[in-house]
Amino acid sequence: MKKVSVIIPLYNEKDSLPLLYEELGQALESYTSDYELIFVDDGSTDGSFQVLRDFQTRDARIRVVRLRRNFGKSAALSAGFRLADGAVIVTIDADLQDRPSEIPKLFRKLEEGFDLVSGWKKPRRDPLRKRIPSLIFNRVTALLTGVPLHDINCGFKIYRREVIEEIKVYGEMYRYIPVLASYRGFVVGEVPVEHGPRRFGKSKFGATRFIGGFFDLMTVIMLTRYNKKPLHVFGVLGASLFMSGLVIEAYLSIGWFFQRWIGDRPLFILGVLLLVVGVQFISFGLIGEMIAYSTRRDEDYSVRETVESDLRSAAEIRVPLVRR
């Protein structure tokens, strides 16, 4: 096993690659020579792959994965994680906005006892239209998940291998790896990193990336907090709606006994609506429970280590059978 794997997802970053390669080499050499660089070409059309292949013929520590078309950064990262051999895995953007010279800083933080350290771009060299949505996004995420990172979306991170082996990433979910990791008991931290303006090419993401992000956030919250008890969310919600409906209808019924016609009252309709929606929510919760039960994996927990004697496996110390 290699000591360190660096995963670099890239899409049309031809001009950044030579400098990136050189700077990565310098930054890693100061730490170890036992590393690999995994470039994941996410369907580039600008000749990035040819540049990478050229590096590869000269340096055996380089591995290049070429996706058949542009699948998106998340897919590119997954492809890289699958290949990575290292005990420690670094991810870094290819556009030189993340500085390879900051990698040792991530290593130092990891060695303080963290399992995952996220970069925190500070100050961030992106246009305001990107910084403001990002700020809101990070605040809301920190608040709702309880994982207090300032820049959860940062592409510059370092992981212990165990983290990657345990966490499944799909869709745009890579943003939430820290949340999923923290939920499984991994120690998550962050460290401020230098951030540069984009030097070559152009950004692949606009501010719209955050819209889908909030839906992913809902998914993550369901998956972490309520994964094993969907009925707890839907049940509480459904029961309170149902009870409010019941109270409304009871109140109207009492009036009806005193000759008050209730068929045309808006409150009547509201009460019925609450009853129906309440029952629906409870049913969702029950279906959720059935799905959770039938798809339950054995690894609903995460083991840090197991301590036991080596002698256990030796056949000689079999416990003698006691005969009376």
- Chain positions contacting ligand UDP, by CB under 6 A: 9-11, 13, 42, 70, 72-73, 76, 93-95, 97, 155, 203-205
Q: Which is nearer to Mg ion, 97 or 141 (CB)?
A: 97
**From the list Mg ion, ligand UDP, none, partner contacted by residue 94 (C-beta under 5 to 8 A by kind):** ligand UDP
Min dist. Cβ of residue 126 to ligand UDP (A): 6
Q: Which is nearer to ligand UDP, 205 or 251 (CB)?
A: 205
| Binding segment toward Mg ion, per CB under 5 A, in 90-98, 206-214, 242-250, 291-299 | 90-98
Q: Which is nearer to ligand UDP, 190 or 249 (CB)?
A: 190
**From the list ligand UDP, Mg ion, none, partner contacted by residue 204 (C-beta under 5 to 8 A by kind):** ligand UDP
Min dist. Cβ of residue 53 to ligand UDP (A): 17
Q: Which is nearer to Mg ion, 78 or 97 (CB)?
A: 97
CA 78 to chain centre: 11
Q: Interface with Mg ion includes 95 (CB under 5 A)?
A: yes
Q: Which is nearer to ligand UDP, 154 or 241 (CB)?
A: 154
Residues 215 to 274: which contact Mg ion by CB under 5 A? Answer: none
**From the list Mg ion, ligand UDP, none, partner contacted by residue 102 (C-beta under 5 to 8 A by kind):** none
Min dist. Cβ of residue 41 to ligand UDP (A): 8
Min dist. Cβ of residue 105 to Mg ion (A): 19
Tokens of 64: 């290049």
Helices 17-29 and 48-58 pack at an angle, to 10 degrees, of 40
3-state secondary structure the chain: CCCEEEEEEECCCHHHHHHHHHHHHHHHHCCCCCEEEEEEECCCCCCHHHHHHHHHHHCCCEEEEECCCCCCHHHHHHHHHHHCCCCEEEECCCCCCECHHHHHHHHHHHHCCCCEEEEEECCCCCCHHHHHHHHHHHHHHHHHHCCCCCCCCCCCEEEEHHHHHHCCCCCCHHHHHHHHHHHCCCCEEEEEECECCCCCCCCCCCCCHHHHHHHHHHHHHHHHHCCCCHHHHHHHHHHHHHHHHHHHHHHHHHHHHCCCCCCCCHHHHHHHHHHHHHHHHHHHHHHHHHHHHHCCCCCCCCCCCCCCCHHHHCHHHCCCCCCC
Q: Is residue 316 exposed (0-12), middle (13-18) or buried (19+ Cβ within 10 Å)?
A: exposed
| Binding segment toward Mg ion, per CB under 5 A, in 89-97, 182-190, 246-254, 282-290 | 89-97
Q: Which is nearer to ligand UDP, 95 or 249 (CB)?
A: 95
Min dist. Cβ of residue 225 to ligand UDP (A): 28
**From the list ligand UDP, Mg ion, none, partner contacted by residue 229 (C-beta under 5 to 8 A by kind):** none
Q: Interface with Mg ion includes 91 (CB under 5 A)?
A: no
Query: Binding residue for Mg ion (CB under 5 A) from 12, 16, 78, 97?
Result: 97
CA–CA distances in Å: residue 249 to residues 10, 243, 261, 279: 60, 10, 13, 15
**From the list ligand UDP, Mg ion, none, partner contacted by residue 227 (C-beta under 5 to 8 A by kind):** none
Min dist. Cβ of residue 249 to Mg ion (A): 57
Q: List residues near Mg ion by CB under 5 A.
A: 95, 97
